[in-house]
A and B are shown apart, each in its own frame.
Chain A
Amino acid sequence: MNFMSIAIRVVFAYVFLLCLVRLSGKQTISEGTPFDFVIALILGDLIDDLFWAEIPAMQFVVAASFLIFMHVLTTIGAFNSKTFAQLVQGKPCDLIRNGEFNRKTQKRERLPDKEVLGEIRRFEVGDLREVEVACTEPSDTIAVIRKKWAQPAQKMDLEKLRKLRS
């Protein structure tokens, strides 16, 4: 195996993918949807075939370009159409509303109580009654919104307190 050839292929693949990922927008690698994760996985698998010269570089360029091209078309479609966005990315679903579990969503997302409670604890919420809404996001994370009385004090609250005192 010629080491210089491997090095040249690695540099080529790196530069090409870097340009491709930059052109595709910021979603591909950062916390995107599960589909973005799949795209990143496929690209990772493709690059390996080129490193070890199992496929011609042209095949790699065609496959990677069209994969990213389709991905960009999908994201543009999702940006312009709400219906299409829901179809390809899913929509936020309530897991907890007003301190109560939404069993229907839990069942559909296959998220047991233990897991949901674990996720909301990451937002320093220890009591379900503090939660106004906890929902799954299209990026497969859970977002938590606390009830007004349970929200941490803000700087503006100090002003309100001062006014009340005076």
Chain B
Amino acid sequence: MKQIISIFALFVLTMSLLGVMIYAGKDDHIMVPPPESVAEQFTRFIVTQRFSRALPLLSENLAQNISAAELKELAEALTEQLGQGVEVKSGTAQIQGDEAEAGVSIKTRQQKEIHMKFQFVREKGLWSIRELSNLTNHIVNTTGGEHEDEHT
């Protein structure tokens, strides 16, 4: 019984400490995944077609307007036009208060390198993707035959 109480006490103490760090101390990259890490994870989930795992990384607002099936359609369109991604790397992030921007690069099987940027918002202490316009822009721009972020 003493053991269980001790573990519970440690749990409560650590959670309180983290709560103070994240909410009162406004920690935005030590005890929570920084925007570049979230962007990398999201892109990796999209590339590996684990859409249900990508959804929780979206902001509440965005998640209400997009389903896993729609995310799948988006990813398929991206793959069709830019090629299958084989490597995902995170770029740098810029944080301004409760908003941030982070980049990722995807290397495709055809050795193309695509750079993407995601806009973030801090929700409940965590960084969430605010909009997917950059992802959709890639599809639209590539269809038009021009793409400034794409390097071969």
Contact = CB atoms under 8 A, between A and B. Distances in A.
10 contacts: A5-B34, A8-B30, A23-B3, A24-B3, A57-B31, A58-B18, A58-B22, A61-B18, A72-B7, A73-B4
Contacts of A54: 33, 37, 41
A35 interface: no
Contacts of B10: 16, 19-20, 23, 65
Interface in B1-44: 3-4, 6-8, 10-11, 14-15, 18-19, 22, 29-34, 37, 41
Contacts of B18: 57-58, 61
Chain A CB count within 10 A is highest, among B3, B6, B14, for: B14
Given A53-B29, A57-B31, A72 B3 contact: yes
Interface of A: 2, 5, 8-9, 12, 16, 19-20, 23-25, 52-58, 61-62, 65, 68-69, 72-73, 76
Dominant secondary structure at the B interface: helix
B75 interface: no
B141 to A, nearest CB: 30
Given A58-B18, A65-B7, 11 more contacts: A5-B30, A12-B31, A53-B34, A54-B41, A56-B31, A57-B31, A61-B11, A61-B14, A62-B11, A72-B4, A76-B3
A53 B29 CA distance: 8
Contacts of A16: 10, 14
Chain B CB count within 10 A is highest, among A5, A12, A20, A57, for: A57
Chain B CB count within 10 A is highest, among A5, A8, A53, for: A53
Interface string B49-64: 0000000000000000
Contacts of A62: 11, 15
A58 B23 CA distance: 12
Contact of A9 (B19, B31, B126): B31
Contacts of A69: 4, 7-8, 11
A24 B15 CA distance: 18
A2 B29 CA distance: 9
A162 B31 CA distance: 72
B57 to A, nearest CB: 11
B136 to A, nearest CB: 26
A8 B37 CA distance: 16
Nearest to A2: B29
Nearest to A50: B31
B103 to A, nearest CB: 14
A53 B33 contact: yes
B41 to A, nearest CB: 6
A24 to B, nearest CB: 7
